[in-house]
Homo-oligomer: A and B are copies of this chain.
Amino acid sequence: MTGFEKLNEEKVFKDPVHRYIHVRDRLIWELIGTPEFQRLRRIRQLGTTFLTFHGAEHSRFGHSLGVYEIARRVIDIFKSRGDWDDSETMLSLCAALLHDVGHGPFSHSFEKVFGTNHEQFTQKIILGDTEIHRVLAQVSPDFPKKVADVIGKTYENRLVVSLISSQIDADRMDYLLRDAYFTGVSYGHFDMERIWRVMRPVGDQIVFKSSGMHAVEDYIMSRYQMYWQVYFHPVTRSAEVILTQILHRAKRLYNEGFSFKNVPLQMVSLFEGKMSLKDYLRLDESVIMYYFQVWQDEEDEILRDLCSRFMNRRLFKYMQLSKDQLYADEELSGAFREAGIDPEYYLEVDSSSDCPYDFYRPGEEEERRPIQLKMPDGSLHELSRESDVVGAITGKRRTDHKLYFPKDMVLSLPDDLPAKKRIIELLHI
C-alpha cells in the first residue's frame, strides 16, 4: 500500500479560523492540488448570503480545509489517549477534506430547479474518471470506495462516519465558526477545544463527557442562532427566490426553443436533464454569474429583469404569512396577472424551517443520531434529558413562511390601474 508518505516538510495554509491548517501527508497535499478540489474556490460557501452580509464571500475551499483540520486535530487527541484505530486515520482525513467536493454553484436553487444532487456528484467525483480518484486509488483500488462510503454514511465503522456527519461533527463545527467569522456576527462562537477534549469514542459513536455539557449546549444554541440570524435571513432568501426564478425562466425558454443571444452552453445538458460529470465540473459561480450578466441583454423581458435584479441587488420584498396561508392566494395572483406581472415569476412563497436538535427517530427521512452524554458512572444520557435549554428546543420544528414580491414593480404601476390598489391592500404595502 502506498500513498501514506509524509511530505519532506509540513505545508501550512494560513487560516483565519484555525490559524494554520497543517498538511503532513503527500496524499492530502495532492488531493488539494486537483482541479476538482481547486474548483471549490469558485463556489461560495453561503451562496447568496453575501448579498446580505457582505463579508460572506468565502468559498467552500476554505471550509473544506477547515473540516479536514478539525478532523486531524480531533484524531490527534484521540490518538494521544489511545482511543483511536490509526488505520482509519487517512480515510477519515480524506473524507473530511472531500465531503463537499460535489457541491455546484448555488446548489440549493440548482437542485430545486434541475433535480441535481450534490451528494451524488460527490460520489461520482470520488469514484469516477477524475484526478481525485486517481490520487485516492494510489492507496489501494478500494480506497476511493471507502472514502465515498464514509461521506455517504454507509461505511461500516460508524465512528469514522460520526466524525464527519453527526449532530456535532467536523463539518458543522467548522462552518459555524467560519460563517460567523466571515459574516462578522457575534453568534456562532463556542468552545471548540473544550468539546474536542470531552469527545469520547464509545463503541460505534462519539459521546461527550457530561462535565462538558455546557460547552455542547452552547454549540447547540450557536447553531440555533446562526440558522435564524444568518442562514434563513429573509434578504438572503429573497435573492435565492430570484435566482431560482431565473433558472426556471431560462430552462423554460430553452425548452420552448427561445433564441438566446448568449446560449448557455455549459447549461444545456442541465436544461435537457442529462448532465454529465464532466459538464458538472465545468459549472461554477463565475459561469453562472457570467450568464446572468449577459442575459440582461436578452429579448425576454422576464429573464432580463430577473437577471438585472440579481446582479444589481434589487431584491423582492416580503410579507410574513401565517401558518394557514402557505400559498399566494388566487385573488393576489389574479391581480398580478391583471397588472401584467406574471405571478409565476414574481410571487413566491418561501419557507424556512429548522429543527435545532433532535434525537433519533427510526424511520424518519433524515435520521439523526442523538447526542449522548457520558456520566461519571459511565452511563449514557441523551442530551435533551440533561439540559433544560436543549430540552426546550428539542423536536420543535420552527417554520417560517414568507411571500416574496417586487414591491418596486408594484409601486411603479399606473395609479389608475384598479389591480394596483388591490395588490397594495393584499400585500399590506
Q: Which residues of chain B have C-beta atoms less than 8 A from A184's C-beta?
A: 14-17, 19
Which B residue sits closest to A287, measured CB to CB? B290
Does A300 reach chain B (CB closer than 8 Å)? no
Min Cβ gap A35→B in Å is 4
CB nearest neighbor in B for A81: B10
A residues 122-137 with Cβ under 8 Å of B? Answer: none
Residues of B within 8 A of A53 (CB): 14
Whether B38 and A313, one on each chain, are in contact in the complex, defined by CB atoms closer than 8 angstroms, is yes
In the complex, A62 has a CB within 8 A of chain B:
yes
The CA-CA distance from A312 to B217 in the complex, in Å, is 34
Contact residues, A34-57 vs B (CB, 8 A): 34-35, 38, 41-42, 50-51, 53-55, 57
Is B16 a contact of A182 with CB atoms below 8 Å?
yes
Number of interface residues of A (CB under 8 A): 67
Query: Does A61 have its Cβ within 8 Å of any Cβ on chain B?
Result: yes
Say how far A346's CB is from chain B's closest CB, in angstroms.
20
Decide if B190 touches A389 in the complex (CB within 8 Å).
no
Q: Given A55-B15, A293-B284, A393-B388 in contact, is the A190-B186 Cβ separation under 8 Å?
A: yes
Contacting A286 at CB < 8 Å: which of B10, B13, B286, B312?
Answer: B286
Question: Across the two chains, which residue of chain B brings its CB closest to A282?
Answer: B293
Q: When each residue 187-201 of chain A gets 1 if its CB lies under 8 Å from chain B and 0 otherwise, what string results?
A: 101110110010000
Of B33, B197, B311, which contacts A12 at CB under 8 A?
A: B197
Q: Which of A67-75, A87-95, A160-168, A220-228 contacts B (4 or more CB under 8 A)?
A: A220-228
- Bound CA–CA A224/B387 (angstroms): 12
Task: Report Cα–Cα, A293/B43, bound state, in Å.
Answer: 14
Question: Is A391 at the interface (CB under 8 A from chain B)?
Answer: yes
Q: Which of B15, B194, B229 contacts A54 (CB 8 A)?
A: B15
Q: In whole Å, how far is A237's beta carbon from the nearest beta carbon of chain B? A: 16
A333 at the interface (CB under 8 A from B): no
Residues of A228-246 contacting chain B, CB below 8 A = 228-229
- Contacts A285-B286, A393-B389 hold; do A62 and B58 have CB atoms under 8 A apart? no
A65 interface residue, CB < 8 Å from B? yes
Establish whether residues A311 and B57, one from each chain, have CB atoms under 8 Å apart when the complex forms.
Answer: no
A361 is an interface residue with CB less than 8 A from chain B: no
In whole angstroms, what is the CA distance A62 to B215 when docked? Answer: 23
A197 CA to B59 CA, complexed, in Å: 27
- Across the interface, which residues of B come within 8 angstroms of A187, CB to CB? 191, 214, 218
Q: Whole-angstrom distance between the alpha carbons of A197 and B293 in the complex?
A: 37
A185 within 8 A of B: yes
Contact A38/B393 with A15-B184, A286-B290, A290-B286 known, Cβ cut-off 8 Å: no
Q: Are A186 and B191 in contact (CB under 8 A)?
A: yes
Confirm or deny: A398 has a beta carbon within 8 angstroms of a beta carbon on chain B: yes
A327 within 8 A of B: no
Q: Please, how many angstroms separate the alpha-carbon atoms of A50 and B42 in the complex?
A: 11
Chain B residues with CB under 8 A of A183: 14, 16
15 contacts between A and B (CB under 8 A): A14-B185, A33-B313, A38-B313, A41-B313, A54-B61, A186-B191, A186-B215, A187-B191, A189-B189, A214-B229, A221-B389, A284-B289, A287-B293, A388-B392, A391-B392
Q: 4 closest pairs, A vs B, by CB?
A: A392-B392, A16-B184, A286-B289, A290-B290
Which A residues fall within an 8 A CB radius of B? 10, 12-17, 19-20, 33-35, 38, 41-42, 50-51, 53-55, 57-59, 61-62, 65, 181-187, 189-191, 193-194, 197, 214-215, 217-218, 221, 224-225, 228-229, 282, 284-287, 289-290, 293, 311-314, 388-389, 391-393, 396, 398
Given contacts A57-B58, A217-B225, A284-B289, 16 further A-B contacts (CB under 8 A): A15-B55, A16-B181, A41-B54, A41-B313, A54-B62, A57-B59, A57-B62, A186-B194, A186-B215, A187-B214, A189-B189, A218-B225, A282-B293, A284-B293, A290-B290, A388-B393
